[in-house]
Chain A
């Protein structure tokens, strides 16, 4: 966002892009269709199912080029334009091809104060690409994210719309990237809800026993 305030330019999407997914692959299996129709049946109008159907499509095709959005719209029976509007609204829907692992590094308030930008820049340096870019080997895309709702364990990042990695520090980032290179995606660790805190001895982490850093929260190198 910081860059956007200084350079507030909004680009046009390509209005006539080349099709990237060939027609013969551009189909849902009968199970997928069934699944989508079940979702459709859960809502009073079919457009209620658009988000889950887009999600399913993104998992299948790894991203959502226009032809996939069109396929989803046709499958649930809503106008293509509506599905396209929804897909562009959410940054978690990838409109272009990304790396195998998308690292969403939070740089919103809490994370920023606790060193979110340090983490972002550390990863950028380490992988040799800027945010918004994908490494040459196609393994990683780095992105800057707004608050992902885990401020309690700031700074943090999210891996490909999935697991959170909390309380980032350099060592943790090193270990994470190594693990991801080996194809090991960390397990999802949730954030404890306030009402469960007592049970957890005042901790907000389900994995508190395995996390050293929580006891001594990481402090940004620039904040001391």
Chain B
């Protein structure tokens, strides 16, 4: 296998990796700004400089010339090289700042240049704490600035588009944002304008930076030049905890981090998963977090009156107890996890009802060929794989209207808002509703209303439109629960810097709700139905061995990045 030597250590490689990428992957920490693995390398920030040598080749024999010790003679290039734009080649010898004073000096001086016109006001910058420029300056930069002139003032606080704000002074002109719009999203809405010290990124006149993926430039900007209009200056990065989970806005289940402060979601950022969303996250995936924070229920209710959890569960059991199986309709939910839907189907079977159906929520035209889908739910594929059929809305509506149902059991959905039937239609039907938000329009018609944990408060599995089964992890705690939620989360979570500050232990904004895998077994036990699981991990273990459509989808296998389920059982 070809190899290169970096600071006297040998690294093996395959193919033709770029030198910087190879170093980063093998744990050699090289400073850099403009390089991004998904994009071309213009080598304009000059921060990744290294000394590079290659074996001297004898022109006659085509073999490397050897020194007296039998080692190949290495010829170093006269100038430092940008490792981001250089391919690794066999026998290459590289000296980084760890072994070369020259490289060290180059990195330091380059940072001094980059900082000449960059404001040195990190304490008031939104990027502080997660800023590559700040971090690298601490690690490799000069102690101070020798620049005695006025720094260049450029436009600040400019809305490039509806969601991205520019601070031109902070920009180091790495062109990552430009290359994103040119090479990745291909919206071509940004360019660097002007030249020399005057340049900064901008839209051409008459153009707004409003593409549906615009916010990705915020994440890749290595300084605080591009910030999110929505979440800028709302929380410092070290005040938040972040949880690796997945987005639930559409059927793609793009991997993301939920950033939480005081048990409220503040921001959603992408998490790299090369099988699903690579490095990117659509804007819609980032902005819908208010449903997790606002209009949340206060606790369970019976016909609108507050009750305690035990009373609510008992009331649900009473609804189901007397009812004839064929006059009970269970509605599963494409918003709920596989585990909760699975338990619901067990409950349905136990009370003699038919397999649950689920309501589809699609919006034609919302999808594209990238990360957005027409399907506005995260788990319709999971419902399908459980054997749930999409509800035939008109048939179900006439059944309700003609008095053919005694009980409608709705898991985490809103039949009224989605147009299945009106609240009045449900007057003669006993409605059990697990719901997320007090704005749920079925709520007035509900006999028993059970506040349900949302995607950021529960543990579970969702299957995306491509059959990728992935885990949800709880990003914030809920009221009345052991805060480790069945040991699925550590007691102490690390913040961005790996410091185990315990961001969980905050009593504010705790929502009084329950995950389906807690509430459904409780209801079952009130009905004397056996449903004993230690938690969602066991439910999934059972399901993955019992149902071919979920074969292999254990928590261990899904891990951080999920598993691609086989095509079996796909009916959609």
CB within 8 Å of B: which residues of A?
A: 4-17, 66, 69-70, 79-82, 84-85, 88-90
CB-based nearest B residue for A82: B191
Additional 17 contacts, C-beta under 8 A, given A13-B193, A82-B182? A7-B150, A9-B153, A11-B155, A12-B158, A13-B202, A13-B205, A15-B205, A69-B204, A79-B182, A80-B204, A81-B181, A81-B188, A81-B191, A82-B191, A85-B192, A88-B195, A90-B195
| Residues of chain B with a CB closer than 8 A to A16's CB | 205-206
Contact B194 A15 (CB under 8 A): no
Q: Does B455 contact A (CB under 8 A)?
A: no
B58 CB, min distance to chain A CBs, angstroms? 36
Chain B, interface residues (CB within 8 Å), range: 20 to 34
Contact B154 A10 (CB under 8 A): yes
Of A10, A85, A88, A89, which is within 8 A of B168 by CB?
A: A10
Of B168, B191, B197, which is within 8 A of A84 by CB?
A: B191
| Residues of chain B with a CB closer than 8 A to A17's CB | 205-206
| Residues of chain B with a CB closer than 8 A to A84's CB | 191, 193, 204-205
Contact B191 A15 (CB under 8 A): no
Q: Does B200 contact A (CB under 8 A)?
A: yes
Contact B151 A8 (CB under 8 A): yes
| Residues of chain B with a CB closer than 8 A to A11's CB | 155
| Residues of chain A with a CB closer than 8 A to B149's CB | 5, 8
| Residues of chain B with a CB closer than 8 A to A79's CB | 182, 188
| Residues of chain B with a CB closer than 8 A to A13's CB | 193, 202, 205
B175 CB, min distance to chain A CBs, angstroms? 10
Give the docked Cα–Cα distance between A8 and B147 (Å).
Answer: 14
A150 CB, min distance to chain B CBs, angstroms? 21
From residue 159 to 189 of chain B, which have CB atoms closer than 8 A to chain A? 168, 181-182, 188-189
B153 CB, min distance to chain A CBs, angstroms? 5
Listed by A's residue number, 22 A-B pairs whose Cβ atoms lie within 8 Å are A5-B149, A6-B150, A8-B151, A8-B153, A10-B152, A10-B154, A10-B200, A12-B202, A13-B205, A15-B202, A15-B205, A66-B205, A66-B206, A79-B182, A81-B181, A81-B189, A81-B207, A82-B188, A84-B204, A85-B193, A88-B195, A89-B193
- With contacts A5-B149, A8-B150, A10-B168 known, is A80 near B194, CB below 8 A? no
Contact A10 B205 (CB under 8 A): no
Give the docked Cα–Cα distance between A9 and B198 (Å).
Answer: 8
Of B152, B194, B206, which is within 8 A of A89 by CB?
A: B194
CB-based nearest B residue for A81: B191
Q: Does B190 contact A (CB under 8 A)?
A: yes
Q: Does B422 contact A (CB under 8 A)?
A: no
Give the docked Cα–Cα distance between A90 and B194 (Å).
Answer: 8
| Residues of chain A with a CB closer than 8 A to B181's CB | 81
Give the docked Cα–Cα distance between A138 and B200 (Å).
Answer: 32
| Residues of chain B with a CB closer than 8 A to A15's CB | 202-203, 205-206
A80 CB, min distance to chain B CBs, angstroms? 5
| Residues of chain B with a CB closer than 8 A to A70's CB | 204
From residue 499 to 526 of chain B, which have CB atoms closer than 8 A to chain A? none
Of A8, A69, A82, A88, which is within 8 A of B152 by CB?
A: A8
CB-based nearest B residue for A84: B204
A78 CB, min distance to chain B CBs, angstroms? 9
A18 CB, min distance to chain B CBs, angstroms? 10
| Residues of chain A with a CB closer than 8 A to B188's CB | 79-82
B213 CB, min distance to chain A CBs, angstroms? 16
Give the docked Cα–Cα distance between A14 and B195 (Å).
Answer: 17
The interface centre, meaning the residue of B152, B168, B204, B206 with most chain A CB atoms within 10 A of its CB, is B204
B530 CB, min distance to chain A CBs, angstroms? 63
| Residues of chain A with a CB closer than 8 A to B190's CB | 81
The interface centre, meaning the residue of B150, B190, B200 with most chain A CB atoms within 10 A of its CB, is B150
A188 CB, min distance to chain B CBs, angstroms? 26
CB-based nearest B residue for A91: B195
| Residues of chain B with a CB closer than 8 A to A10's CB | 152-155, 168, 194, 198, 200
The interface centre, meaning the residue of B191, B195, B198 with most chain A CB atoms within 10 A of its CB, is B191
| Residues of chain A with a CB closer than 8 A to B203's CB | 15, 81
A151 CB, min distance to chain B CBs, angstroms? 20
| Residues of chain A with a CB closer than 8 A to B197's CB | 4, 8
| Residues of chain A with a CB closer than 8 A to B191's CB | 81-82, 84-85
A91 CB, min distance to chain B CBs, angstroms? 8
CB-based nearest B residue for A79: B188
| Residues of chain B with a CB closer than 8 A to A82's CB | 182, 188, 191
Give the docked Cα–Cα distance between A132 and B197 (Å).
Answer: 19
CB-based nearest A residue for B205: A66
| Residues of chain A with a CB closer than 8 A to B168's CB | 10
Give the docked Cα–Cα distance between A16 and B206 (Å).
Answer: 5
Question: Could you mark each residue 54-98 of chain B with 1 if its beta carbon is under 8 Å from any beta carbon of chain A, else 0?
Answer: 000000000000000000000000000000000000000000000
Contact A89 B154 (CB under 8 A): no
B425 CB, min distance to chain A CBs, angstroms? 50
The interface centre, meaning the residue of A15, A17, A81, A85 with most chain B CB atoms within 10 A of its CB, is A81
B169 CB, min distance to chain A CBs, angstroms? 9
A12 CB, min distance to chain B CBs, angstroms? 4
| Residues of chain A with a CB closer than 8 A to B195's CB | 88-90
Contact A81 B204 (CB under 8 A): yes
